[in-house]
C-alpha cells in the first residue's frame, strides 16, 4: 500500500511539473488537463493540501482564459479546503482572488464581501501585508 501511495505522490509531482511547463508555454488548456489529473489522484489519496493548491492553480488558469465562473468555483473549493487545513495565508490570498474575480464580473457587493472577510482575517491575525493589500482595494 505504501508503495502505491508513494508512486501516486511521485505521479502528482510529475503532473504538477508538466502543468507548470505548459503554463510557461501559455498552453493553458493542456495545463488544465494535467491539473484535472492531479485533482483526481489527490482526491483518491485524500491529500487535501494538494487539492487546495491545485484548485487555486486551476482558478488562476480559468481567470487567465477569462472563464470567470469556473475560476470562482475552483477558488471557492480551494478556500473551503484551506479553511479546513487552517492555512491562513492561503485563505487571505484566496479571498483576494475571489474579490478580483467578482470585480471582473462587475459584482461589487460580492467583491466587497470577500475583500472585507479578508481584511477582517488579516486584522485578526495582525498580518500587516494583507491589511495594507485589502485596505488599498477597499478604499
Please tell me the pTM assigned to this model: 0.90
Residue pair 107/99 in contact (Cβ under 8 Å)? The answer is: no
Residue-by-residue DSSP string for 104-123 = HTT-HHHHHHHHHHHHHHHH
Query: What's the DSSP call for residue 86?
Result: T
Domain 2-138 bears CATH identifier 1.25.40.10: yes
pLDDT of residue 6: 58
All residue ranges of the chain with pLDDT < 70 are 1-6
* pLDDT at residue number 4: 52
Q: What is the pLDDT of residue 3?
A: 42
What are the boundaries of each domain within the chain? Answer: 2-138
Dihedral, CA of residue 63, residue 64, residue 66 and residue 72, to nearest 10: -10
**How many Cβ atoms are within 10 Å of 122's Cβ, its own excluded?**
24
Query: Which residue in 89, 79, 85, 86 sits closest to 59, CA to CA?
Result: 79
Amino acid at each position: 500500500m505504501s508503495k502505491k501511495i508513494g508512486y501516486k505522490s511521485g505521479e502528482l509531482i510529475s503532473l504538477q511539473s508538466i502543468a507548470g511547463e505548459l503554463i510557461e508555454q501559455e498552453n493553458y488548456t493542456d495545463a488544465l488537463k494535467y491539473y484535472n489529473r492531479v485533482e483526481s489522484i489527490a482526491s483518491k489519496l485524500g491529500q487535501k493540501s494538494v487539492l487546495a493548491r491545485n484548485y487555486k492553480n486551476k482558478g488562476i488558469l480559468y481567470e487567465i482564459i477569462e472563464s470567470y465562473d469556473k475560476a470562482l468555483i475552483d477558488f471557492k473549493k480551494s478556500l473551503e479546503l484551506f479553511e479546513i487545513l487552517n492555512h491562513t495565508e492561503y485563505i487571505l490570498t484566496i479571498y483576494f482572488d475571489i474579490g478580483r474575480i467578482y470585480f471582473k464580473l462587475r459584482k461589487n457587493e460580492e467583491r466587497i464581501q470577500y475583500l472585507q472577510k479578508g481584511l477582517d482575517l488579516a486584522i485578526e491575525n495582525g498580518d500587516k501585508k494583507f491589511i495594507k493589500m485589502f485596505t488599498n482595494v477597499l478604499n
